[in-house]
Chain A
Amino acid sequence: MTAFANSKLKQTDPQRRIPWLRIRTVKKVGRLVVQYILAGLVALICLVPIIWMVKSSFETAQWMRSSRIQFWPIEPTLMNYKDVLSNPNAAIGRSMLNSLIVASLATLLNLAITATAGYAMSRFKFKGKIIFAMYLLIFYMIPGTLVLIGMFVMLARLHLLNNWIGLILVYAVGGIPFSTWWLKGYFDSIPVEIEDQAMVDGCNRLGALWRVILPLAVPGVVTVGIFQFVGCWNEFMMALTIITNPKLQLLPVQIINFMGYQRVEWGPVMAFSMIVSIPAVILFALAQRGIVGGMMSGFTR
């Protein structure tokens, strides 16, 4: 009798019968499964267009015009890439060089302006600081088209339309609010004592900035620089309006011009898209850590 009761007890007690199937474990596993399903869903939503772009860029023209839909190439080929790289209308090499020059120079100019401004915002109290800070935040909210109209007339009078100098200046200034706020936050995280020590050792303030603080700030400056570069690389509206000479055109507009030359062949266009996106994605992946937090801190403080 007692043996029977014991065995019954054993059977009904799941914890003792299958020790790994504890309620807590079940809860944990269930939680993990739900997490994976949700994460997978969001990742899928994020990636579907990108996968579709990758797939289409490796697809042959015949299969592009078929009703068969699948997310990997039916017949993988590099034809589209060869097409777009050799097509004189695409002019991919020239426009990539244009983009590279404009984005690099704009980024360097932007960093030169904002590293000092960010340092001043971080270390000094001065008259007009609040007005400057307010303007940087308001800048995010000014409509681009309105600024563009005023800018367009101004650049025309300065003979800077269809000229990289105009675009470089526009890009460099467009990035000032973001870079300044971000670098201010970065300088805030470097202790003031380091400069004081340098100044006791005989540096003046500028010397301390140049020899001691700037080397310490290099990682932050590089992060912001990469972000600015990617921003210029991806920019569309300003380039479309200010540059009309196809020889000077940048990548994002060039791809639209390229589409205009032909009945849309999506294969080569998607290959072109891949070539434009890959540098942006790689650079952004290198710089992404902490970039958004730095931006938000400007508003919350």
Chain B
Amino acid sequence: MKSSIPAPGSSKSSRFFERFRKHSLPYFLIVPAVIALIIFSLYPFISGIWYSFTSIGWIKDIAKFIWLSNYQQILVGEVGIARLFKLAAVQTIYWTVIGVAGQFALAMATALILNEKFPGRFLFRTAVMVSIAVPTVILALTWQWMYDPFYGLVNHYLYLLGLIHDANTIWVAGMNSTIWPLIVVAIWRGFPFMSLMLLSGMQGISQELYEAAKVDGANVLARFWHITLTQMRTTIMITLVLNLIWTWNSFDIVMVVGANWGTVASKALTLPLLAWIDSFRWSHLGRGAAVSVMSMLLILGLLFWSARRELRSVTE
């Protein structure tokens, strides 16, 4: 025990060693994570941006710098990749904005219910949890089966309710199918997890605030508006930003439900899927990277544009 504490008169070198050990320990602990992130996250990210300025088509190619040629191809012109890019960009905006709006409405309702205490709450919680845990691919497949034109659940009930005239409507994976049925799946996939994110903020609100408001005569709506929403401001902001980015970048649903394995309906295309198909199916890694970079810039622009009021209030 005594040997571990350096005596005041001990040699200079051992004191230096002690100090080095004391201060370097956190770096030793963190170095594996840093190296792993640099090699498998930062480097691929930066090299992906670099490839978007090169002519690389497939892995054996030499990446030759060609300025903005890839960007020119995807932005200018009315046919080919440029047409698909514009179409996919517009559809990705619909997909993200409407998808997240729907997710948020359902998630808020779910979080409010989860926050209440009532007998049998356990069952309700389980239902939400199960729908989070099931793999996205599996859910996408199940939805594809529900959208089945002949024996599917969706057509059956919509026809029964008189909402569609054709009992065998093709919703997904047809040549003319659109992004809208996929947005329904995205809302469904996203809202249970989002409700847990909201719930984590909701549980931090002090119950006394509600009691005080009750005494002051505030009704349920007023309490929701002035207490729940105001107190959860930060949580809601973070949740929305994260979900906007995740939904924007999401791949599985559009790939599995929308694409009929090999053929892709252009009206059901989003930017991440276009980037993936261009890179890995059509062997244009460089151009696919350019689509990805544009996609990233678009979502960042969208986020800044929607947060411009908050940003202005911070800077002024």
Binding site for B on A (CB under 8 A): 32, 35-36, 38-39, 42-43, 45-50, 52-53, 56, 64-67, 69, 112-114, 116-117, 119-121, 123-124, 126, 129, 132, 135, 139-154, 156-157, 161, 169-170, 172-174, 176, 180, 201-202, 204-206, 230, 233-234, 236-237, 240-241, 252-253, 255-256, 259-260, 266, 269-270, 273, 276-277, 280-281, 283-285, 288, 292-293, 295-296, 299-300
In the docked arrangement, what's the CA distance between A32 and B138, Å? 35
B293 touching A146, Cβ below 8 Å: yes
- Of B59, B145, B234, B235, the contact of A56 (CB 8 Å cutoff): B145
Contacts of A156 in B (CB 8 A): 59
Q: Are B29 and A117 in contact (CB under 8 A)?
A: yes
- Min CB distance A99 to B, Å, is 11
B200 CB to nearest A CB, Å:
4
- What residues of B have a CB within 8 angstroms of the CB of A150 in the complex? 43-48, 50-51, 289
Q: What chain B residues lie within 8 Å of A53 (beta carbons)?
A: 138, 142, 145
Give 17 CB contacts A-B under 8 Å.
A42-B124, A116-B32, A117-B33, A145-B249, A145-B272, A149-B279, A153-B51, A157-B59, A169-B36, A174-B40, A234-B136, A236-B137, A236-B256, A259-B261, A283-B133, A295-B197, A296-B201
Contact status A47-B127, CB under 8 Å: yes
- Identify which of A120, A266, A269, A292 contacts B200 (C-beta below 8 A): A292
Q: Which residues of B contact A142 (CB under 8 A)?
A: 41, 45, 296
Please state if A273 and B142 are interface contacts (CB–CB under 8 Å).
yes
Check A36–B118 contact: CB distance below 8 A. Answer: yes
Residues of A within 8 A of B113 (CB): 35, 38-39, 42
Asked if A145 and B251 make an inter-chain contact with CB atoms under 8 angstroms apart, the answer reads: yes
* Interface residue count on the B side (C-beta < 8 Å): 97
Residues of chain B within 8 A (CB-CB) of A145 are 249, 251, 272, 275-276, 279, 288, 292, 295
Contact among A48, A67, A113, A237 with B252 in the assembled complex (CB-CB below 8 Å): A237
Given contacts A53-B142, A120-B30, A288-B129, contact A149 B40 (CB under 8 A): no
Residues of the A chain whose Cβ atoms lie less than 8 Å from the Cβ of B51: 149-150, 153
Residue numbers in A under 8 Å from B150 (CB-CB): 65
Fill in one digit per residue for B101-143: 1 if any A CB lies within 8 Å of its CB, else 0. 0000010011001001010110110111111111111110111
Are A277 and B197 also in contact (CB < 8 A) when A47-B127, A144-B251, A176-B37 are? no
Among B7-15, B72-80, B188-196, B210-218, the one that faces the other chain is B188-196
- In-complex Cβ contact of B141 among A67, A144, A273, A283 (8 A): A273
Q: A36-B118, A117-B29 are in contact. Are A46 and B199 (CB under 8 A)?
A: no
Interchain CB contact under 8 A, B295 and A143: yes
Known: A32-B118, A113-B36, A299-B238. A284 touches B132 (CB 8 A): yes
* With known contacts A270-B145, A273-B141, A143–B296 Cβ distance under 8 A: yes
Number of A-B contacts (CB under 8 A): 281
Main secondary structure of the interface of A (DSSP, over half): helix
Query: Measured between C-beta atoms, what is the minimum distance from A231 to chain B in Å?
Result: 10
Cα of A146 to Cα of B44 in the assembled complex, Å: 8
Q: Nearest chain-A residue to B291 (Cβ)?
A: A145
Bound Cα distance A69, B1 (Å): 75
Q: How far is the CB of B56 from chain A (nearest CB, A)?
A: 7
Contact (Cβ within 8 A) A146 B137: no
Give Cα A296–Cα B249 distance, bound, in whole angstroms.
20
- With a cutoff of 8 Å between Cβ atoms, the chain B residues found around residue A252 in the complex are 135, 137-138
Q: Determine whether the beta carbon of A237 is less than 8 Å from that of B251.
A: yes
Residue on A nearest B4 in the bound complex, by CB: A202
Name A241's closest neighbour in chain B (CB-CB): B280
Q: Nearest-CB distance from A152 to chain B (Å)? A: 7
Q: Is B83 an interface residue (CB 8 A)?
A: no
Cross-chain contact A42 with B261 (CB below 8 angstroms):
no
Closest B residue to A71 using CB positions: B153
Output the least CB separation between A107 and chain B (Å): 14
Query: Does B17 make an interface contact (CB < 8 A)?
Result: no
Q: Which residue of A lies closest to B61 (CB)?
A: A153
Assess the A66–B196 pair: CB atoms within 8 A: no
Q: B156: CB under 8 A from chain A?
A: yes
Contact with A292, one of B41, B197, B295 (Cβ below 8 angstroms): B197
Q: Which of B32, B41, B275, B289 has the most CB of A within 10 A?
A: B41
The reply on B66 being an interface residue by CB < 8 A is no
B25 touches A206 (CB 8 A): yes
Contact assessment for A49 and B118 in the assembled complex, using a CB-CB cutoff below 8 Å: no
- Neighbour of A284 across the interface among B33, B129, B153, CB < 8 A: B129
Distance, CA A169 to CA B113, complexed state (A): 40
- Interface contact A69-B156, CB-CB below 8 Å: yes
Assess whether B302 is interfacial by the CB under 8 Å rule. Answer: no
Interchain nearest-CB distance for B49 vs A (Å): 7
